[in-house]
Structure 1
Amino acid sequence: MRELHHTILADNEEKTALRQLIFTLKASGQCYFLRNEILQAFSKYCHQIQKPTYFYYSSAIGKLLHRTHEIILEEESTWFVVRPKIASQEVWRLTSEFTQFELMSTQAFLDVSDRLVNAYKPNILEIDLSPFYKASPSISDPRNIGQGLAFLNHYLCHQLENNPQCWFEGLYLALQELQYDGMRLLLNDRISSGIQLAKQVHQAIKFLHQRHPDEPYAKFRFDLQELGLEPGWGNTAHRILETLELLEHLIDSPQPAILEAFMSRVPAIFRVVLVSIHGWVAQERVMGRDETLGQVVYVLEQARSLENKLREDIKLAGLDLLNIQPHVIILTRLIPKCEGTLCNLRLEKVNGTENAWILRVPFRQFNPEITDNWISKFDIWPYLESFALDAETELLAQFQGKPNLIIGNYSDGNLVAFLLSRLLQVTQCNIAHSLEKPKYLFSNLHWQDLEEQYHFSAQFTADLISMNAADFIITSSYQEIVGTPDSMGQYESYKCFTMPNLYHVVDGIDLFSPKFNLVPPGVNESIFFSYRQAKDRDSNLSKQVYELIFHHEDAEILGYLENPSKRPIFAVAPITSIKNLAGLAECFAKSPALQEHCNLILLTSKLHTSETTNPEEAGEIQKLHDLINQYGLHNKIRWLGLRLQNREVGEAYRVIADCRGIYVHFARFEALGRSILEAMISGLPTFATKFGGALEIIENNTDGFYVNPTDLEGTAHKIVTFLEKCDAYPEYWEEVSEWMSQRIHHKYNWHSHTSKLLSLAKIFSFWNFVVPENNEARDRYMEALFHLLYKPRSEKILEKHMER
C-alpha cells in the first residue's frame, strides 16, 4: 500500500483527483462512507471530469479506492480502512495537507470510530484474543482458510515425522482413553506403551491374514483380546485388517490421507447434542417461526443424518456386538403455551430415526408471562445460563452418561454449547450460518440506539465468547468466514470493531485458525429432487400444487394470472427486509420486458399485516401490497401467504420447473440460502444474490446467474437475456437445469456433510488431547467475558422482562 500512496501523492493528477474526491465527500455532510458509496462518488467524479475508463480501475487512486472499505472524515484528517487482500486489514490516515499517509493502529481507528458517533471514552476495555492463537498452528495462505481438517492432518503428520516417539505415544494414550460406559474400546491393559502397540498391531495383522476376509469378529474376538485389542477395530477380519494396516502405515510413514482415514474409523463418538434454542423445534404443524424455519429444518435433517451415519459406523466397527447404539438429542426449549404444537412435549422422537430425539427443557419462570411463551431470538439472552444448568441434568439423565460432541446452532445455541462444554468437558462445535452483526449495518457502532429492540450488546458478546471457545467451527461457504475481495465475511466482521462506551475488540478472532472448516449442508432428497424424476412424484399432489399456485382462490392468496402460460419467476422466503421480496417485486414492476416474458409467484407464510406483531415484517408486507397496487400487478402476480408442508414446497419447485420457470433469490445478503439448494436440485435455473454464499453454490464460469439486489435494472436485463436465449434455443433451459441439479446432488448432500463433521470432531478431540495448548487459559478468559460483560447485559434485559 505504501507504494500506491507514494504514487498518488507524487503525481499531480492523482493527488488532485484524491483531493477533489474528498472535498466532494465532505460536501455531502456525511462523515462515514462504505465501499459502494466511495466507488459511486469516484465513478461520478471520473464521469464529470471526463477521465478515461482506465483511470477509474487502473490508476493508483482507483486501485486504492477499490480496496478501501470505509472512509471516515475528520476535520484534520481522512481515515482509510483498506483490505489489501482477503482476511487482511490496514488503517491509514491522510493528513489534511495531503502530504502523508500514516499507517495507524487498530486502537486509533476504534477511537476515531467512537468519535464519529460522539461516544469517545478514554481507557475503554480492550478485548484482544490474539495471545491465545500465537502458539497455535496457523494457515498461511488465505485461499486455504476454511480447510482446517486438511491443514491439521498435514500438521500432525509432520509432527509424527519430526518427533515420532513423542507423538506416537500421544496417539497410544488417546486410543487407550476410549471407552463406552466403562467398557474399554480398541486397547486393553495388555498394551502399555506406543512401542508395544506397534508390535501387537504387527502380530494382529499376521493373525488376520490367516482368517477368511468375511469371518465375523465374534469368532476371533478373544484371540485379539489376548493381543491387547478390544472391540472397535471392525466387524469382519477384512475390516479389522484394513484398520490395523492404516495404523501400521501411519506409524511407518505418516501421511495426511492415512491419518484421516484411520481417525474416521476410530469409535469415539456415540452421543451427540444439537443445541437449537429459540425456534419452535417441532415436526408437526410447525417447524420454526419465519426467523428460524431454516435452522429447524437444518437441525432435524442433520440429526437424522448423524444417527444414520453413527449407526453405520458402529456396525462397521463391530460394536453392535456390545449392543452399543447411537443416541442423538436435539436440545431446545419447552414452550408451555405452544399454540397447538407439540413444543410443550418434553421428549419427542425424530421422525425417520431409531434413537434421535427432541429434548425440550423449559426456561425457569422468572416471569411466566414471558417464559411460558415463545421468545424472539433478540430477547432470549437472560434465560440461557439457567437453561444450560438445567439442560446438563436432563442430558445426563437422558443419555445415562456424557455426550461426546456438542453442536451449537446460531448465537444463543452456541453460547449454551459453550456453557455445556465447560460443564461436561466435551468437544464443542459451532454453527452460525447467519450472524446478525454483518446483516445490520452499523449495528455495533449504534448499538445503544438499537439496544431496546435488538440487544446487540449481549448477542455480539455471546458470539465472541462462543466462536473463540469452540473447538471447531462449521461454515457453509468460504465467504461466510472471510467474504470476497469486495466484501467482508461474517466472521471477519468480528475481527475488529467497537461497541462505543462498552468495549473495543482489537482482535476478536483468528481467521487463519484451523478451527474454521467449510462443511456445506445437504438437501433432503426424499422431498427435494429433480422434476425429471417422474417415478418419484405423486401425480395427485402435482395437480393440487399446480392448481394452488396458478388458479386457486383463497383469502390468503393475492392476485390472478391473466396469462398463466408465461414463464413463472418463483421466490420462496420469509418476509424480512434482508430477504428483500419487495425488492424483487419492484424489479418486476419496473421492467416491461420481464412482465412480457413472465409472471411473478411469491410463496411466503403471511399475506396481511394483521398476521404479524413484528414491525419490520409488517413494514415489508405493506411495502409489497403498495408496489402491487402502485404498478397494477394484480393480473401478473400470485402471492401465496400460506405455510405449506415440506412435501408441498418440494412439489412447488418441480411444478414451476414443469412450466420452464426460474427461481430468483433476491436477498440483500445470504450466508447460504437453503431455498437456493432446494430450487437448484429441483431443476430450476436459479438467479441468486451476489452478496454471500450463493457465489459458491452456483459457481458458474460466468456471473450470469448472480444478481445485485441494489441494481434492479441490471437484474431485469440479466434475467431477460437468459429467457431470450431460452426462447431462441429451448435446449439451453434444459442444460442449465441439469447442471444446477447435478451440482447440488453431488456437492450438497447430508452423507458428505456428516462424514466430515464426525472426522472433524475426532481429529480436534485428538488434537486437544495431545496438545492442550492455551485452551484452558482461553476458556477462562471466555468465562471472564461471560461473567463481566455478558451477564450484566442479559440481566438488564431480564429487568425489562420482569416489568411486563
Structure 2
Amino acid sequence: MFDLIQEILKGDEKNNLEQFVNLLRQLEKKYLLRNEILNSFHDYCQKQENYDHLYHSSDLSKLVYFTQEIILDTESLCLVVRPQIATQQAYRLLEDFTVEAISIQELLNLRDRLVNRYHPQEGEVLKIDFQPFYDYSPVIRDPKNIGKGVAFLNRYLSSKLFDDSRQWQDALFNFLRLHRYNDAQLLINERIQTQQQLSNCVKRALILLGKYPADTAYKNFCTELQNLGFEPGWGNTAHRVQETLEMLDQLIDSPDHQVLEDFISRIPMIFRILLVSPHGWFGQEGVLGRPDTGGQVVYILDQVKGLEKQIQDNIKLSGLDVLNIEPKVIVLTRLIPNSEDTTCHQRLEKIYDTDNAWILRVPFREYNPQITQNWISRFEIWPYLETFAIDAEQELLEQLQGKPDLIVGNYSDGNLVAFLLARRMNVTQCIIAHALEKSKYLFSNLYWQDLEDKYHFSLQFTADLIAMNGANFIVSSTYQEIVGTQDSVGQYESYQSFTMPDLYHVLSGIELFSPKFNIVPPGVNEDVYFPYSRIEGRNLSDRSRLENLLFTLEDATQVFGKLADPSKRPLFSMARLDRIKNLTGLAECFGKSKELQERCNLILIAGKLKSEDSTDHEEISEIEKLYQIIDQYDLHGKIRWLGVRLSKDDSGEVYRVIGDHQGIFVQPALFEAFGLTILEAMISGLPTFATRFGGPLEIIQDQINGFYINPTDHTEMAEIILKFISKCDQNPNYWNEISQRSQERVYSNYTWKIHTNRLLSLAKIYSFWNYISKEQREELLRYTESLFHLIYKPRAKMLLEKHMHRH
C-alpha cells in the first residue's frame, strides 16, 4: 500500500487527494470509518469532470476502497489500510503531503490523543502482546485457509512424523498408552513397551484379523488381540479393527495428513463433556425471550443431544460397549434462587430426550443476597465468575465421577470460566464466542470509560483476550466471524490491536493465522424444525391454536394489533426486542412502503408488549420505539405483535403455519454472528430474507436459496421483498422453488450430526497436539494468567464493591 500511496503523490492524482483531504477536514468528525470515507469520496467524485475514471478505476479509488479508518490530526492525516483480509497497515500523511508508515503503537497513541486520553508525561500504559508466543508454533500462510486449522495442523503433524520419525512416533505411542476409562485400560496394554514393539504387533494383529469374516464381532477375537497387547477401543468388528490398525500401520511407515486425522478421530478418548454457559436464564422451558436468553440456549441444548448421540455411536463403533461405558454431558450454568416461573433454581435438571445429559446449576456466592438471589445482566456478572468456577469444580468432579475429557465455553463469560476450569483440571478446552460485544458496539473500546458503568467492557474485553488465547481450539460458525470480508473486519480480527485508553494497549491480541481457529457451523433440531409440507409430526390441534394466535386471537395480554385482512401474505420475524436484532427497523421499513402494506401483513413475535414488564433498558427502549413506529405510519390493521414466549415445539410449528400461508421470513439484524432462526425458517421451507451483515452471508446463497437485505436501507429492503412477491405472482411455483432450495441447503450443510462429529474430531486432534506441545503452551498460559490476576481480578473486585453497596 505504501507504493500505491507514493504513486498517487508522484502522479496526476495528487491534486485529487489534496482536494479530498480538504473536503474531509471540513467535516465535523475527526474519526471516519469505512462507510463514511466511501460516501465522502463518492460525494467528492460526483463534482469532478472525470467522475467515472476517478470513482471506479483511479489509484486514489483503490486506496480509498482499502482504507478502513481516517483519523484527522491537527498537523497530519492517518490512514488505516486493510490491503487484505486479516492484515492492517497505518500511514501518516503530513501537511506537505509526504507519507510515512507508522507502527501499531503510534496508531494506538494517536487514537488515545483523539479522545484526550494520551498522557505521556504520566508514563506509558500497559502493552499486551501475544505475538511472541505464536512465533514458535505453526501458522497458516494463506488467508483463505483461516478457519481450517485442523486440516493445517494435520499436515504439519504428519510432516513431523515423517521428518523426525523417531521422536514423533514415540510421542504417538505414548499418547496411545494414556487412554483409560475409569480402571479399564484402552487400546494398548503392558505387553507393548516400545514404539518398535507396537509396529511389530500391529502387523501380527493384521494377519490374525485376516482370518476372520469382516462382520465378526469384537468379543469373538478380543482375547487373541489382548495377548498381542491390544485392549478394547480399536473397533467393534474384525473389519473395523483391521481398518483402524491399518491406519496406524500406515502412520508408522509413511505418515499422511488425512490418515492421521481419520486415525486420531477414531481413538476413544471423549466420554465426559462439560459445556459452560453462566449468563442468562438457562432452562428448557419458559426462558426464551427473557433478557440475555435466546439462541444460545437452543444451540447448547441441541448440541448436547447431538454430542451424546455421537459419543454413543463412537463407543459402539470402537467396540467399547463390552465395558458398559455410559457417556455423560453436563451444561454448567448459574443457579438463580429467585427463578420466577422457571426451573433455574433447581440444582440438577435432566435434559429432555437424553440418556445421561444434565443441567448443573451452581449459585453465585452470596456477597450481597439482594443481588445474587436474582438474575444478573451479562454485563454485570464478571465479579462472580472466578468463585463460580472454584465452587463448580468439586460439584463437577462428583457429577462426572472424574474430570471431563473436553470443556466447551460459550460466550465471553462462559469462555472465561472454561479457561479457569481447564487450567485447574488440565483438560482440553474449546471456546465458542457466538458473538463478541466489541464488534457490536461502535468505538466500545475507545470510549470504554464513558460506557463502563453500563457495560463494563474493560472486564469483558480482557476476558475475551484471556479465553481466546488460552483455548486449545476455537470454534466459529462462519469464516467472517474470524476475519470478516473484503469490506468488513471480523469479530476476532477486531481484537488484533486496539486501545483501552488509560488501561492498556493491545499490540497483538490474537493470531488470526493460528491453526486453533476452526469453522464448525451449528445444526438445526430436525425433530422440532422440519418442512411445513411434511404432514407426519404435525399436530392438528397445535396447528389450529397457533394459526389463531398468529392471525386472529384477540387477547390484549398476548397480542397487540388486529389484522384487517388476515389473508394477505405474512411477513414474519421472531427475535428478542433489542437494538441489534432490529425488529423496529423491519417495522419502519414496512411502514415506509405502502406497496408492502398493500400486499402483506407484518407479524412479529418479540418478547414483551409493555415496557413496565421489562427490566432490560434496551428492551424497554425498543418496545417504546415499536409503538411509536406503529402510530407514526398508521400500521393499525396491518401488524400483529405477539408478546409471547413459545415452547420449542410451538416455535417449530409457528414457522410451518407461516409456510402454510406461503409467507416470508425476514431477519433484519444490524449484525448477526450466525443466525439460528435463519436455519429454522429455511428448513421449515420459508423463503428467507436475512441481513447481509454477518453470518447469513455464508448460510444463504443470494437469490438461489434465500436473499440478502441491507437492514439500514429501508427502501432497498422493501424493493427486494417486493421483487420476490412480484415473481411469485408471475410464476406461482417460484415460492415453492425457493422453499425447496432453502430446505436442501440446510440438510446438506447444517445438521447437528455434521456439527458434533466434527467437534469431537477436533477435540481429539487438539488433545494430541496439546500433549506433544505442552511445554510451548505453558509460557502462553502463564502470560494469559497474568492478565487475569493483574487486570481482570482488580477490576472485578471494584465492580463487586459497587454491587455490595446496592440496596
TM-score interval (norm. to shorter): over 0.9
* C-alpha displacement of 1:703: 11
Matches within 5 A, 1:506-521: 506-521=507-522
- Which amino acid in 1 is paired with 2:473? F
Aligned residue-pair number? 802
SS at match of 1:535: coil
Per-residue CA deviation, residues 480-518 of structure 1 (Å, 9 max, x unaligned), is 000001000000000000000000000000000110000
* C-alpha displacement of 1:437: 0.5
- Which amino acid in 1 is paired with 2:781? D
- More deviation, 254-263/464-473: 254-263
* C-alpha displacement of 1:26: 1.9
Q: Which residue of 1 aligns with 2:738?
A: 736
* C-alpha displacement of 1:274: 0.2
Query: In structure 2, how many angstroms separate the alpha carbons of the residues matched to 1:614 and 1:213?
Result: 62
- Which amino acid in 2 is paired with 1:735? E
* C-alpha displacement of 1:50: 4.6
- Which amino acid in 1 is paired with 2:686? L
Q: Which residue of 1 aligns with 2:75?
A: 76
* C-alpha displacement of 1:57: 2.5
Q: Retained in 2: the 8 A contact 1:282–1:288?
A: no
Matches within 5 A, 1:78-227: 78-98=77-97, 100-122=98-120, 123-227=124-228
Q: Which residue of 1 aligns with 2:334?
A: 333
Q: Retained in 2: the 8 A contact 1:663–1:687?
A: yes
Q: Which residue of 2 aligns with 1:64?
A: 63
- Which amino acid in 2 is paired with 1:102? E
Query: In structure 2, how many angstroms separate the alpha carbons of the residues matched to 1:427 and 1:607?
Result: 44
SS at match of 2:566: coil
Matches within 5 A, 1:539-550: 539-550=540-551
SS at match of 2:452: helix
SS at match of 2:514: coil
Is 1:554 the counterpart of 2:555 in the alignment? yes
Query: In structure 2, how many angstroms separate the alpha carbons of the residues matched to 1:288 and 1:785?
Result: 34
* C-alpha displacement of 1:773: 4.8
Query: In structure 1, how many angstroms separate the alpha carbons of the residues matched to 2:218 and 2:104?
Result: 61
Q: Retained in 2: the 8 A contact 1:232–1:317?
A: yes
Identity %: 56
Query: In structure 1, how many angstroms separate the alpha carbons of the residues matched to 2:50 and 2:305?
Result: 60
Q: Which residue of 2 aligns with 1:310?
A: 311
Q: Which residue of 2 aligns with 1:22?
A: 21
Q: Retained in 2: the 8 A contact 1:605–1:641?
A: yes
- Which amino acid in 2 is paired with 1:370? I
* C-alpha displacement of 1:655: 1.3
Q: Which residue of 2 aligns with 1:235?
A: 236
* C-alpha displacement of 1:735: 1.0
- Which amino acid in 2 is paired with 1:68? T
* C-alpha displacement of 1:193: 1.2
* C-alpha displacement of 1:593: 2.0
Q: Which residue of 1 aligns with 2:466?
A: 465
Normalization by structure 1: what TM-score? Answer: 0.98
- Which amino acid in 2 is paired with 1:7? E
* C-alpha displacement of 1:158: 1.5
Query: In structure 1, how many angstroms separate the alpha carbons of the residues matched to 2:730 and 2:288?
Result: 42
Q: Retained in 2: the 8 A contact 1:290–1:605?
A: no
Residues 305 and 703 of structure 1, relative CA distance in 2, 3 Å threshold: closer
Query: In structure 1, how many angstroms separate the alpha carbons of the residues matched to 2:250 and 2:339?
Result: 56
Q: Which residue of 2 aligns with 1:571?
A: 573
- More deviation, 46-55/445-454: 46-55
SS at match of 2:770: helix
Query: In structure 1, how many angstroms separate the alpha carbons of the residues matched to 2:589 and 2:759?
Result: 40
Q: Which residue of 2 aligns with 1:39?
A: 38
* C-alpha displacement of 1:188: 0.7
Query: In structure 2, how many angstroms separate the alpha carbons of the residues matched to 1:549 and 1:6?
Result: 62
SS at match of 2:529: coil
Normalization by structure 2: what TM-score? Answer: 0.98
* C-alpha displacement of 1:97: 1.9
- Which amino acid in 2 is paired with 1:779? L
Q: Which residue of 1 aligns with 2:612?
A: 610
Q: Retained in 2: the 8 A contact 1:135–1:773?
A: no
Q: Which residue of 2 aligns with 1:439?
A: 440
Query: In structure 2, how many angstroms separate the alpha carbons of the residues matched to 1:627 and 1:508?
Result: 42
- Which amino acid in 1 is paired with 2:527? S
- Which amino acid in 1 is paired with 2:52? T
Query: In structure 2, how many angstroms separate the alpha carbons of the residues matched to 1:286 and 1:397?
Result: 28
Query: In structure 2, how many angstroms separate the alpha carbons of the residues matched to 1:252 and 1:551?
Result: 71
Is 1:10 the counterpart of 2:19 in the alignment? no
* C-alpha displacement of 1:704: 7.4
Query: In structure 2, how many angstroms separate the alpha carbons of the residues matched to 1:51 and 1:413?
Result: 55
Query: In structure 2, how many angstroms separate the alpha carbons of the residues matched to 1:764 and 1:94?
Result: 45
Q: Which runs of 4+ in 1 moved over 3 A?
A: 700-704
* C-alpha displacement of 1:219: 2.5
Residue 588 (structure 2) aligned to one of 570, 579, 586: 586
- Which amino acid in 2 is paired with 1:285? G
Residue 624 (structure 1) aligned to one of 599, 623, 626: 626
SS at match of 2:689: strand
Residue 681 (structure 1) aligned to one of 677, 680, 683: 683
* C-alpha displacement of 1:771: 2.3
Q: Retained in 1: the 8 A contact 2:658–2:664?
A: yes
Residues 347 and 622 of structure 1, relative CA distance in 2, 3 Å threshold: same
Which blocks of at least 5 consecutive residues in structure 1 are unaligned?
Answer: none
- Which amino acid in 2 is paired with 1:540? S
Query: In structure 1, how many angstroms separate the alpha carbons of the residues matched to 2:262 and 2:205?
Result: 19
- Which amino acid in 2 is paired with 1:154? R
Matches within 5 A, 1:320-399: 320-399=321-400
Q: Retained in 1: the 8 A contact 2:700–2:706?
A: no
- Which amino acid in 1 is paired with 2:26? A
Q: Retained in 2: the 8 A contact 1:404–1:427?
A: yes
SS at match of 1:534: coil
* C-alpha displacement of 1:368: 0.6
- Which amino acid in 2 is paired with 1:2? F
- Which amino acid in 2 is paired with 1:150? A
RMSD of aligned residue pairs (Cα, Å) = 1.3
Q: Retained in 1: the 8 A contact 2:481–2:491?
A: yes
Query: In structure 2, how many angstroms separate the alpha carbons of the residues matched to 1:214 and 1:667?
Result: 52
SS at match of 1:473: strand
- Which amino acid in 2 is paired with 1:526? D
Q: Which residue of 1 aligns with 2:423?
A: 422
Q: Which residue of 1 aligns with 2:254?
A: 253
* C-alpha displacement of 1:27: 1.5
Residues 70 and 549 of structure 1, relative CA distance in 2, 3 Å threshold: same
- Which amino acid in 2 is paired with 1:112? L
* C-alpha displacement of 1:54: 3.6
Q: Retained in 2: the 8 A contact 1:234–1:316?
A: yes
Per-residue CA deviation, residues 252-305 of structure 1 (Å, 9 max, x unaligned), is 332222112111110011110000101211113324734222111111111111
- Which amino acid in 2 is paired with 1:781? Y
Which blocks of at least 5 consecutive residues in structure 2 are unaligned?
Answer: none
* C-alpha displacement of 1:701: 6.8
Query: In structure 2, how many angstroms separate the alpha carbons of the residues matched to 1:594 and 1:701?
Result: 19
SS at match of 2:199: helix
Query: In structure 2, how many angstroms separate the alpha carbons of the residues matched to 1:478 and 1:563?
Result: 43
Residue 790 (structure 2) aligned to one of 785, 788, 791: 788
Per-residue CA deviation, residues 396-416 of structure 1 (Å, 9 max, x unaligned), is 111111111000000000000
Residues 290 and 57 of structure 1, relative CA distance in 2, 3 Å threshold: farther
Q: Retained in 1: the 8 A contact 2:289–2:607?
A: no
- Which amino acid in 2 is paired with 1:310? I
- Which amino acid in 2 is paired with 1:277? P
